[in-house]
Amino acid sequence: MAGNRFGTLFAVTTFGESHGPALGCVVDGCPAGVPLELEHIRSALRRRRPGSGGASTARAEADEPELLSGVFEGKTLGTPIAVLVRNTGSRSEDYDNLKDCYRPGHADWTWEAKYGLRDHRGGGRSSGRETLCRVAAGAVAAQFLSRYGIVIRAWSSAIGGITAAGMDDPAFSLDEAEANPLRVPCAQDAARIAERISALRAQGDSAGGTVSCAVTGVPPGLGEPVFGKLDALLASAMLSIGAAKGIEFGAGFGAARSTGSAQNDRLMPTAERLPSQAPAARYETNNAGGVLGGIATGMALLFTVAFKPVPSITRAQKTIDRTGAEREILIKGRHDICVVPRAVPVVEAMAALVLADLMLLRRADRHQPC
Amino acid sequence: MAGNRFGTLFAVTTFGESHGPALGCVVDGCPAGVPLELEHIRSALRRRRPGSGGASTARAEADEPELLSGVFEGKTLGTPIAVLVRNTGSRSEDYDNLKDCYRPGHADWTWEAKYGLRDHRGGGRSSGRETLCRVAAGAVAAQFLSRYGIVIRAWSSAIGGITAAGMDDPAFSLDEAEANPLRVPCAQDAARIAERISALRAQGDSAGGTVSCAVTGVPPGLGEPVFGKLDALLASAMLSIGAAKGIEFGAGFGAARSTGSAQNDRLMPTAERLPSQAPAARYETNNAGGVLGGIATGMALLFTVAFKPVPSITRAQKTIDRTGAEREILIKGRHDICVVPRAVPVVEAMAALVLADLMLLRRADRHQPC
Amino acid sequence: MAGNRFGTLFAVTTFGESHGPALGCVVDGCPAGVPLELEHIRSALRRRRPGSGGASTARAEADEPELLSGVFEGKTLGTPIAVLVRNTGSRSEDYDNLKDCYRPGHADWTWEAKYGLRDHRGGGRSSGRETLCRVAAGAVAAQFLSRYGIVIRAWSSAIGGITAAGMDDPAFSLDEAEANPLRVPCAQDAARIAERISALRAQGDSAGGTVSCAVTGVPPGLGEPVFGKLDALLASAMLSIGAAKGIEFGAGFGAARSTGSAQNDRLMPTAERLPSQAPAARYETNNAGGVLGGIATGMALLFTVAFKPVPSITRAQKTIDRTGAEREILIKGRHDICVVPRAVPVVEAMAALVLADLMLLRRADRHQPC
Amino acid sequence: MAGNRFGTLFAVTTFGESHGPALGCVVDGCPAGVPLELEHIRSALRRRRPGSGGASTARAEADEPELLSGVFEGKTLGTPIAVLVRNTGSRSEDYDNLKDCYRPGHADWTWEAKYGLRDHRGGGRSSGRETLCRVAAGAVAAQFLSRYGIVIRAWSSAIGGITAAGMDDPAFSLDEAEANPLRVPCAQDAARIAERISALRAQGDSAGGTVSCAVTGVPPGLGEPVFGKLDALLASAMLSIGAAKGIEFGAGFGAARSTGSAQNDRLMPTAERLPSQAPAARYETNNAGGVLGGIATGMALLFTVAFKPVPSITRAQKTIDRTGAEREILIKGRHDICVVPRAVPVVEAMAALVLADLMLLRRADRHQPC
């Protein structure tokens, strides 16, 4: 495991520093014959770009992708699909004053402790800009998954201490989440959160929050025991996103406070049968969040990811420099106040990569000869 | 990724069904020359065995391990270390009435949906008994890690809705956690929790809870960007444990409700220097839980894992059978009321496996030629 | 890649030293529902045991396998299949005089250079006895492959400088290869080779030779470009066998001396069609040995592996000891004169592992959704 | 194992079709701090470009590499190193007549059998042009290895049935191999081979041959038992090169015809000691080719790779088309007569990748804590 690759069969390798010449990804293992156009990737990247909701950075690059390989006449070839995005809008000089000191809450010091040197400009490879590669790769995965009817939708479920309407709330609307720049699934909640963000911005502060995600169309049986459990892989995928600090599936930490009689999802009678001979899945409730024993139940897959507040705040902060001496720094550059709205497509992309990989593994281990 | 292997360099493969002839593990990649005695594994397994705290199963097997390979004259050879534990106390007949129907909250139905067949006796490989292999492998990893001064300690931080004293509480004591069978780090809290468990047992119900873990001695720089982040690997390791439903690092979901000014851990002046030329790490606080950008800060690594309530409750439950028809079942067998106390050594074992693997990866990518 | 694991999806991990308590393997990734009996493994191991042809060691252990997991009611469960074989016939005292010195042609010195310590008894894990694990795992793979009509047959194609009748020779007979202990596919050649071996034994010397292998029923399209080519994986598998020093596919080194007009295999007209839309394969010749561009042509897969002479000769040999001083040694213990006849089932086993893995990969990347 | 990645720790992923927009590689796992300039890659690629020796294609592209990531201020960052080479000189129209039929000896038919579709232009990804990515990645590996004093040199050891002077021949000169475009290590032999090639060209035919390789400076102990043996990994690396049909180490197939007494390399007395406590290596001969039991002896690593003749000959050839009907084709395009001289840097590059990976693995599993 050299750390810049994700997946076993549907595997992506990403590369690129925030202020280097370019970023990109290579998707290795996408089957041949999947319809894929540059526009699929372009529109996914557009969704990741800074919005106008007040929570986003002012760095607005075109992020125009180039498809270098793996597609011929509108279809994947079964060969590696390389996508390239050049860095054009980087203002490295914003980081000159940070060259020799370590920003609190960032990976500056840890990377230098690890490698002995670093590209200090904008966090180098530990920058949130790295997620661009994930979104590009996720767009390819989503194209593959769409053929199976698997649909992945994420949204901002809480920001700055304000929790938005949940899935069971009549006010919950995924269309609304797509319509407002904060990706909050309820217009009223979005307005309250926007106010909270404005207040934090005025105070030179930042906000954390959570992204929730629902995946429908997941075939029962997906997931690889024991260590390749569906939830284990998703947890690894989500915690690999820069600012993520936690994840929970279904009732999650709430289940930990609850009892078995309240948590067990009841299997309901059904006449339908799966190819594997088991009766088709129908659960009365979904506390499990769509996964039991690491294997998909066929119910919607549900999980929530916690993101810490953006560490780049505009207040003066104390830290140290390379000599170990105390320094006070003021962070310039263009930064989000809250990473959550822009994390939404990243969460979706990582989920797509996990599911695409597991779908290929599932095709591999079907017990009947083909 | 065939799913029964964990790790890249320090890699473990586990095998065995709950009621088959035996369970075991093969640790591949442990360096040569590490002192290892059978007793290290035996005492780790003993720690995983049912305690007397009222939360545990009555199935009390000897779980006597056998060391089949990889050790010669008290030291590891650098070759695979195979450990075998025979199943002796299994009462398969307890499960006869479950052969054709699916227990709620268990992986019975999902495994059958996946494989088309299953060993119904005690959950087969989806049984909690599978964690025995993890603990055996973890004992080997812990021996390796002890040479670096890395110490892993977990405890029951909440059970049945009762939260025990936290690390900052003067009542918190890891010695106490080791002394009581519930592994609660405070005797008073342990007593309250024991009462709660008794009440739930009387009601034929079960409890969830959380396990918290602290790792000290982790060298700064540990972790592999981008997808092999320290927290991503730990998340994958912990969510691969049967009943786990969530994980959080440091301030975790609390950080998601907080602000940057409150969360950023301040780097403190220090004269000490690392081999990599960076000044040594010293943070005023540890909201990050010891990891920034996926790389260890050198502060204690802190995380909490959520476990759902044991699904095997003694109340009658409705479910379906293989024909899809409704059935009412009564679960017999010997089951824990709460998995948390016995999950403590499993969490430690999985943490040890992640850290051992990352320590080897760290040795590999040091930037100076050796 | 910790080095004791082979395969991606159909993956085997082996363990065990020659004179330790036991050897074994864990097959992880065999699909569920494959009929598997202990007898399949037992008879494969029997085939690997010392024959009576004069080329073999006198160490005759029962090599009775035990099936520890992964099989229930005669079918694989989709869970790891662990097989254990205890060491019973080892006479470690034969090796006492070799404890402090390095046998020429063996891995004694290189292992000690690598690990700083070794189990000197019978070569420890570098012993030919390690191949027992491969044969056990190969028996599982062969069961899986048999469902696809894939048949793997190897034989001794040359021993001690004498080349046996080739496939195109009317005297060539795979039945004969199975009938004589030297596994030579022609009784007359077997007799000549037996004489040669007797002469070498009398001189205290040993012989090298080659094993050839033909695989029929390989579906066209098998193999993973670019680095997972069918021939690349087979080469890796075969060169991982202790005494192997080379491999060639089809015309092999002969092709290197030839011309394009002589080597190109002509595609022949055919009306039959593959599922992938291409016409079915029919080549006039098979210089390619069944693989083009790393992908199976559908013709028989043909390759030959070169094995060096057994290094344990009974003549006095000069070498050095741990202090670096010159020593003369006489090797005792029970040793083959020629490894080739016993390598035949090992070559078959490794081929089975490669093919089983590629068959699973092929199932995974079929371009149509399932 | 998605097939376009090679290596465990020092891992390269390649991408690109022969006539698509670009080819490239991502090197993931190169340690930080290795001096690396674009010129290192550029000069390696130049060495792979068509020479003037009469054996090469007339397609002469600039093959100008671009370094997209992973290097900052002349040193590697420890992050992925992406290299891009655009396709500029491709004349896709040369291949229009081959769109619907399959060239003999090429992977046209097998790729279509595998994927159901292909990029027919110049072989797509099965083109020899794909090796460009290997050479670029190999240049990075060579930079890393140079810090350890490991030097890899390959040469054309036989072409068109003519064997060049061997290493023991006084006429053998690696400087000469570098000086003539055929990379033959003896000027006289080069002249004879050039004549042979001219004759074959006049006949519209092509030649096979062998590349030999010597690696010095390999530390004893390199290689990972059991399946990650040094020779097994090299075999896999070399057989993954398009036209390779065989490999042998040291005495190779000659060893298979020989006896133990002739083959065993004698260990010689020495006072020097390794860090692992073993005496330093000194063997009287090197029949083993520098590897015993899959582990480096410290002697020069020696191996030879067989390449089949270029299948694109200019004579009319019979084949079939997509309908299965017989067709006669004339191959246009610009093709080598013999792949061997241009395979020399590819063999070196693949050897560099294997050795860089094993050097990292070796750093990982040193038995002393660091």
Percent of chain B with pLDDT over 70: 92
Is the bond preceding residue C346 a cis peptide, omega within 30 degrees? Answer: no
Distance, CA of B361 to CA of D292 (rounded, Å)? 26
Q: Which residues of D touch A32 (CB under 8 A)?
A: 115-117
Q: C interface mutation test: which of B8, B73, B75, B77 has the most C CBs within 10 A?
A: B77
Q: Does the pLDDT at position C119 exceed 90?
A: no
Looking at the domain that runs over B5-364, which CATH code has it been given? Answer: 3.60.150.10
**One-letter amino acid for residue C359 of the chain:** M
pLDDT of residue D123: 77
Distance, CA of B215 to CA of C70 (rounded, Å)? 35
Q: D interface mutation test: which of C14, C17, C98, C110 has the most D CBs within 10 A?
A: C110
Q: D interface mutation test: which of A69, A71, A83 has the most D CBs within 10 A?
A: A69
What ipTM did this prediction achieve? Answer: 0.95
Locate tokens 């040569």: which residue?
B32
Locate tokens 């070759």: which residue?
B79
How far off is chain D from C290, nearest CA to CA, in Å? Answer: 10
* pLDDT tens column, C254-275: 999 999 999 999 999 887 777 7
Q: Which residues of B touch D33 (CB under 8 A)?
A: 367-368
D365 and B29 in contact by Cβ < 8 A? yes
* pLDDT bracket for residue C91 (50, 70, 90): low
How far off is chain B from A43, nearest CA to CA, in Å? Answer: 24
Q: Which residues of C touch B82 (CB under 8 A)?
A: 15-16, 22, 24
How far off is chain A from D116, nearest CA to CA, in Å? Answer: 8
Which stretches of chain B sit within 8 Å of chain D by CB? 8-9, 29, 31-34, 78-79, 147-148, 225, 360-361, 363-370
* pLDDT bracket for residue C39 (50, 70, 90): very high
Q: Decide which of C112 and D341 is more confident.
A: D341
C29 and A366 in contact by Cβ < 8 A? no
> Out of C8, C69, C125, whose CB is closest to B20?
C69
Query: C-alpha angle B20/B25/B30, rounded to 5°?
Result: 175
Is the bond preceding residue D218 a cis peptide, omega within 30 degrees? Answer: no
**What's chain B's average pLDDT?**
91
Where residue B38 falls (left for φ over 0; alpha for ψ -120 to 50; beta otherwise) is: alpha
C-alpha distances in angstroms, D229 versus A21, B289, D301?
A: 38, 40, 13
pLDDT of residue B9: 95
Q: Which residues of D touch B150 (CB under 8 A)?
A: none
Q: Residues of A282-308 as b/e, b for ≥16 C-beta within 10 angstroms? A: bbeebbbbbbbbbbbbbbbbbbbbbbb
Mean pLDDT lowest among B364-368, C241-245, D182-186, D221-225: B364-368
> Out of C14, C22, C26, whose CB is closest to B15?
C26
Residue B338: which of B130, B156, B214, B132 has the closest Cα? B156
Q: Which residues of D touch B365 (CB under 8 A)?
A: 9, 29, 31-32, 78, 360, 363
* pLDDT tens column, D118-166: 887 777 888 889 999 999 999 999 999 999 999 999 999 999 999 999 9
Residues in chain A with pLDDT values less than 70: 1-2, 50-61, 89-95, 276-277, 333-334, 366-370
* pLDDT tens column, C183-194: 999 999 999 999
Q: Which residues of B touch D79 (CB under 8 A)?
A: 225
C-alpha distances in angstroms, C48 versus A131, C63, C85, C345, D335?
A: 53, 10, 13, 6, 48
* Residue C30 DSSP symbol: P
Residue D310: which of D327, D333, D288, D283 has the closest Cα? D333
pLDDT of residue D59: 53
Taking CA–CA distances from A82, the nearest residue in chain D reads D15
pLDDT of residue A370: 44
Mean pLDDT lowest among B28-37, B57-66, D27-36, D188-197: B57-66
Distance, CA of C316 to CA of C97 (rounded, Å)? 13
CA dihedral B98, B341, B2, D78 (to 10 degrees): 160
Do C265 and D319 touch, CB atoms closer than 8 A? no
C-alpha distances in angstroms, D360 versus A2, B369, D141, D357?
A: 11, 10, 11, 5
Q: D interface mutation test: which of A10, A14, A68 has the most D CBs within 10 A?
A: A68
What is the domain partition of chain C in residue ranges? 5-365
Taking CA–CA distances from C114, the nearest residue in chain D reads D221
**Average pLDDT of span C301-305:** 98
| Residues whose CB is less than 8 angstroms from the CB of residue A309 and which lie 6 or more positions away in sequence, other chains included | A205, A206, A207, A208, A338, B255, B258, B259, B260, B262, B263
**One-letter amino acid for residue A350 of the chain:** M
B31 and D363 in contact by Cβ < 8 A? no
pLDDT of residue C92: 64
Assigned superfamily of C5-365: Chorismate synthase AroC (3.60.150.10)
* pLDDT tens column, D63-95: 899 999 999 999 999 999 999 999 986 666 666
User: Between chain A and chain C, how many beta carbons pairs sit less than 8 Å apart?
Assistant: 54
Distance, CA of C231 to CA of C220 (rounded, Å)? 14
Residues in chain D with pLDDT values less than 70: 1-2, 50-61, 89-95, 276-277, 333-334, 366-370
D79 and A125 in contact by Cβ < 8 A? yes
Q: Does the pLDDT at position C71 exceed 90?
A: yes
User: Between chain A and chain B, how many beta carbons pairs sit less than 8 Å apart?
Assistant: 416
How far off is chain A from D192, nearest CA to CA, in Å? Answer: 41
Locate tokens 């918190």: which residue?
B172
Q: Residues of C68-106 as b/e, b for ≥16 C-beta within 10 angstroms? A: bbbbbeebbbbbbbbbbbbbeebeeebbeebeebbbbbb
> Out of D22, D78, D115, whose CB is closest to A32?
D115
Do B68 and C16 touch, CB atoms closer than 8 A? yes
A240 and B260 in contact by Cβ < 8 A? no
Helix (DSSP H) and strand (DSSP E) numbers for chain B: 9, 16
* pLDDT tens column, B67-87: 999 999 999 999 999 999 999
Tokens at A339, concatenated: 């990473």
User: Between chain C and chain D, how many beta carbons pairs sit less than 8 Å apart?
Assistant: 415
Tokens at D326, concatenated: 């017989």
